[in-house]
Structure 1
Amino acid sequence: MKVFLEVIKLNFKISFQYKWTFAMTLLVQPILLFINIALFKSIYTYNDTSSIKGYGFEQMVWYYTAYYVILSFVWNGITNQISRSIISGELATDLLRPISVFRFMLASAISSRFVAILVDFLPGMIIYSLILFPAFLTLKSFLSFLIIAVLAFLLNYLFSFLLGMSAMIIKNNMSISAIREVLQAIVGGGVIPLEFMPVWLNRIFDLLPFKYIIYWPIQFFLNRVEGDNLGSLVRIGSIQILWIVAFYVVIQILWKRLIKKFCAAGG
């Protein structure tokens, strides 16, 4: 555990060197927010309604901002990182560390999210709130969101690591990573709220992990969870944990098999 914490501290310092990369979103997001405000104000006015698919004007505008808020908590580049380390031969060195590759990359992902929250999420929330205050947000819904977001981070990390392991077979997994990003954006509700999708299609999406990485954290953030908040938190959180356990077990089994066949560059 001590080694794991030291790795987090080291990667935090490394990630913080790229703080301006995170901060660039503070310049872009307000512009997109203004565009969404103008766009949806026209849509709501034209339809003479205060709600579309259950979304009020503020919630609809914030939906697309919330997508980037979620990414501040859950994003990682582990899938491509594993592929690059295999192609460059660095994975052979990684295997010699006094900490497993899985835990080392987890520490790296945690560190980068800490930086993103400090440099991107917190300042962003202040700036966005000054432009369009999220009146729908309550302390209870925000705390529920934090719990779901942390579980979403773990789920996304495990899913990314599992896909990254494909590089131990095909070496370059860029195409798999690209397909995953598209699916996660569409099926996870990043492109359009899933309420606009057919009911039967949403039933299929319920069986996939993407909704529990993107869509449900957004719903808790927007305070749109129907019924008892605690009951929904337990239900969604339990499904996330089931996915986390399932991915972890699969990773442990596959890693032991694949690492036996792994051959570093040059031999």
Structure 2
Amino acid sequence: MGEEINRWTAAGRKAAAVGKIAFRHQLAYKTDFAMRCFFLLFILFVFIQLWSTAYGGNFETVISGFTLKQIVWYLVFTEALTLAAPPLCARIEEEVKNGDVAIRLIRPQSYVGYHFSVFASEALTRFLVHLLVGSAITWPFVGPPAFGYGWFGLLALSAGALTITFLLLAIVGLCAFWVEETSGLYFVLQKLQFTIGGMLLPIDLMPEWLQRVCAWLPFQAALYFPARMAVHYDAALLAKHLAVQAAWIAVLAFAVGRIYRRGATKLHVNGG
């Protein structure tokens, strides 16, 4: 038992060290940060104009359970979560192509664990920054996000949401062991997140048959769950969403492990 605790403690220290380095690395690229923030401001401004027109500028109108204020803040949360994800697929693909993956495989921390540590540190930093930037433009247009315990719901579900995003990206990225070029697969994944993941439009506004399809896929757990819980807090539903996220994390983590083990045994380094 003591040996097991020591092993987990050592793994935690390694993950924290990698995360700290990734955080410092992220802060070094201020121009990249500024460009992403500007893009977020532009996108949100366009969405605010579109939804204001759809609602006729009436803050009392309710469409599928959402007021204008709720729908705009919902988009702030989904955009912040979406833009929080670092380019994991491109990193894994590049490591396979140039042979750096061979170096990663012999390091003390597991390959997937290393990338998760980097991803978690960068994603958390990006998420908080984008949340602040998104709030800066949304607040003047629709007012403050007075959603009560919705903030707790957002934070409670965001950790699981970002973990699911990492696992989905890892599955696509690890396909580089076979196909090397994963940009096409990433494009498909990204568009699924944008549509049936609920980034551009809450799933509540979709046709009923499509809502049933979304319920059987992991994409809503990565974006829709935390954003909707933020603007429509429900304690009972929060527990259900957390359970669904945990189930998908277990399934996707198993898939990542299987793909990684099979890919590592068939690895052919093309350089490096």
Q: What TM-score, normalized by structure 1, do the two folds share?
A: 0.88
2:102 matches 1:92: yes
Q: Which residue of 2 aligns with 1:160?
A: 169
Q: Quick one: which of 10, 13, 24 aligns to 1:2?
A: 13
Q: Pairwise mapping of residues 18-167 of structure 1 onto structure 2 (< 5 A)?
A: 18-45=29-56, 50-73=61-84, 75-138=85-148, 140-167=149-176
Cα distance change, pair 215–48 in 1 and its aligned pair in 2 (3 A)? closer
* Cα distance in 1, alignment partners of residues 130 and 53 from structure 2: 29
Q: Quick one: which of 237, 243, 247 aligns to 1:238?
A: 243
Cα distance change, pair 28–131 in 1 and its aligned pair in 2 (3 A)? farther
Deviation at 1:202? 0.9
Cα distance change, pair 197–8 in 1 and its aligned pair in 2 (3 A)? same
Deviation at 1:212? 0.6
Count matched residues.
261
SS at match of 1:134: coil
* Cα distance in 2, alignment partners of residues 186 and 118 from structure 1: 23
SS at match of 1:52: coil
* Cα distance in 2, alignment partners of residues 159 and 34 from structure 1: 29
Q: Pairwise mapping of residues 176-187 of structure 1 onto structure 2 (< 5 A)?
A: 176-187=185-196
* Cα distance in 2, alignment partners of residues 9 and 263 from structure 1: 31
Cα distance change, pair 234–38 in 1 and its aligned pair in 2 (3 A)? same
RMSD value, Cα: 2.3
Contact 1:19 1:119 in 2 (8 A): no
Q: Quick one: which of 235, 257, 264 aligns to 1:259?
A: 264
* Cα distance in 2, alignment partners of residues 264 and 105 from structure 1: 19
Deviation at 1:237? 0.6
Counterpart AA for 2:56? T
2:184 matches 1:175: yes
Counterpart AA for 1:120? H
* Cα distance in 2, alignment partners of residues 63 and 263 from structure 1: 44
Contact 1:30 1:128 in 2 (8 A): no
* Cα distance in 2, alignment partners of residues 15 and 48 from structure 1: 38
Q: Which runs of 4+ in 1 moved over 6 A?
A: 46-49
Kindly provide the CA deviation profile for residues 82-128 of structure 1, in whole angstroms up to 9, marking residues without a partner as x. 11110111111111212111111111111212331453323442453
Contact 1:12 1:114 in 2 (8 A): no
Deviation at 1:214? 1.0
Q: Quick one: which of 204, 212, 232 aligns to 1:203?
A: 212
* Cα distance in 2, alignment partners of residues 100 and 178 from structure 1: 27
Cα distance change, pair 29–181 in 1 and its aligned pair in 2 (3 A)? closer
Structure 1: give runs of 5+ residues left out of the alignment. none
Deviation at 1:261? 1.3
Contact 2:153 2:238 in 1 (8 A): yes
Q: What TM-score, normalized by structure 2, do the two folds share?
A: 0.87
* Cα distance in 2, alignment partners of residues 48 and 150 from structure 1: 31
SS at match of 2:147: coil
Counterpart AA for 1:251? V
Contact 2:162 2:222 in 1 (8 A): yes
Q: Quick one: which of 19, 25, 31 aligns to 1:14?
A: 25
